[in-house]
Amino acid sequence: MSLYQFRHTVGPVTHQFRDLKDLMARATPLRSGDLLAGVAANSAEQRAVAQMALAELPLRLFLNDVLVPYETDEVTRLILDDHDSGAFAAISHLTVGDFRNWLLGDEVDSAVLSAVAPGITPEMAAAVSKIMRNQDLILVAKKCSVVTAFRNTIGLPGRLSTRLQPNHPTDDAVGIAASLLDGLLYGSGDAVFGINPATDNVPQVIDLVSMLAEIIARYEIPAQSCVLTHVTNTIAAIERGAPVDLVFQSIAGTEAANRSFGIDLSLLDEARQAALALGRGTVGENLMYFETGQGSALSAGAHHGIDQQTCEARAYAVARKFKPLLVNTVVGFIGPEYLYDGKQIIRAGLEDHFCAKLLGLPMGCDVCYTNHAEADQNDMDNLLTLLATAGCSYVMGVPGADDIMLNYQTTSFHDALYVRRLLGLKPAPEFEAWLERMQILGGGSQFRLNESLPPAFRDALLRLS
């Protein structure tokens, strides 16, 4: 039980909140998942009052008043046991409201934010995000610099990477290869060649990983591959000699939610150690790839009464533990039960990106929605543009923005090309140099979209035709 009184007086009325968990939930901008969970504010007035009360809380409170008990949740233990008190010292005197003002100050730059990141807990990041406007989330995230590397370098200033996502409903090798070729001709793929397998078993994973490794080796592409299977399948594939680059896993913010995914922290560590032993990185050893998304803990009945955005931020503590190359929120994928429309999806994407970058993660975003959500591709254009402005590490590249295997709408190769041109952004430097060597990228970083196919790919195209 906290000794702090969670109440706020406005005029003659005093608003009371049960505890920190209740206050955090009531202060959260409206979203359908919190309504579904019964934790959302009852009115806009209550939400505003909760945000004012939250702004008055000292940051140090979050180290003592935990949302999920330490004794029963390994994510809580991770958050508290790995907390860097030295890094926290610079902000330990601040309230949540003061923290917002400090983050927005001109004297706080990338170096300062990198130094303080180990001292920020997910709950602190979630709390301050709840009292920030969209422009605040964008401005502060832009100041965060998180750089990771495996076969190329992700997250450098002036760069925007893409995951080339050549999914196929039957895992057909020709179909996957055609999508790979299409994406490469638009400069996509420097974050990862990432396939969601339609047939999720170890032999199929080995076949897909081997195919991607052969393509990367044949054309000497400075990029990494990943088959987005369960981590136990990846471990089994490594044990059978598969050429695994990145280890993928979906993660969540509570032990119970992660258990519903069939994982725990020790299993993730085992997978990371197995992949490190292969030594397949050339410019770095960041090799974990994590996906998250608001609503996952609630959908598993493992949210402990916490609002979905705070649960999401707690997942970033899990990701941070394992020094990943890539993390992304699949922001609109779970459906309108959790993020109802374009407005909620946009807000959630900006929150997730901000919180992860503040905690020191290489954050990307699958800018997406399901077909039964109240959203369309114009909403995705807006979120894509806002995230790229905020310094997002990478986005997805899918043929036609329509994933024909997962049946959802995301961003296309053309969308990534649009935002790179709009903001003057480039691919990862090693990948950019390869694009130039292969005559895909010409002078002035212009793609040769209207010229003949680069010679290196003519034979490949003939084989696919």
Phi-psi region of 373 (alpha: psi -120 to 50; beta: other; left: phi over 0): beta
Distance CA 258, CA 83 (A): 21
Q: In which band, very low, low, confident or very high, does the pLDDT at 1 lie, cut at 50, 70 and 90?
A: very low
What was the pLDDT predicted at 176?
93
Flag whether pLDDT at 328 surpasses 60.
yes
Flag whether pLDDT at 8 surpasses 90.
no
What was the pLDDT predicted at 456?
59
Q: In which band, very low, low, confident or very high, does the pLDDT at 394 lie, cut at 50, 70 and 90?
A: very high
Nearest CA-CA partner of 394 in 189, 180, 245: 189
What was the pLDDT predicted at 54?
97
What was the pLDDT predicted at 461?
55
What is the mean predicted confidence (pLDDT) over 304-326?
98
What is the mean predicted confidence (pLDDT) over 390-405?
95
Flag whether pLDDT at 111 surpasses 90.
yes
Flag whether pLDDT at 313 surpasses 80.
yes
Place of tokens 């119970």: 256
Mean pLDDT over the full length of the chain: 94
What is the mean predicted confidence (pLDDT) over 309-329?
98
What was the pLDDT predicted at 58?
97
Longest dimension (CA), the chain: 78
Q: In which band, very low, low, confident or very high, does the pLDDT at 11 lie, cut at 50, 70 and 90?
A: confident
User: Letter for the amino acid at 389?
Assistant: T
pLDDT digits (tens, 9 = 90+) for 112-140: 999 999 999 999 999 999 999 999 999 99
Q: In which band, very low, low, confident or very high, does the pLDDT at 7 lie, cut at 50, 70 and 90?
A: confident
Which is it for the CA torsion 52, 57, 58, 60, positive or negative?
negative
Q: Report the 10 Å Cβ neighbour count for 425.
A: 18
Q: In which band, very low, low, confident or very high, does the pLDDT at 3 lie, cut at 50, 70 and 90?
A: very low
Q: In which band, very low, low, confident or very high, does the pLDDT at 450 lie, cut at 50, 70 and 90?
A: very low
Flag whether pLDDT at 304 surpasses 60.
yes
Q: In which band, very low, low, confident or very high, does the pLDDT at 404 lie, cut at 50, 70 and 90?
A: confident
**Angle formed at CA 106 by CA 104 and CA 108, multiple of 5 degrees:** 75
What was the pLDDT predicted at 454?
61
Q: Does 459 or 9 have the greater pLDDT score?
A: 9
What was the pLDDT predicted at 129?
98
pTM of the model: 0.94
Three state DSSP letters for 163-223: EECCCCCCCCHHHHHHHHHHHHHCCCCCCEEEECCCCCCHHHHHHHHHHHHHHHHHCCCCC
What was the pLDDT predicted at 105?
98
What was the pLDDT predicted at 10?
77
Q: Report the 10 Å Cβ neighbour count for 87.
A: 16
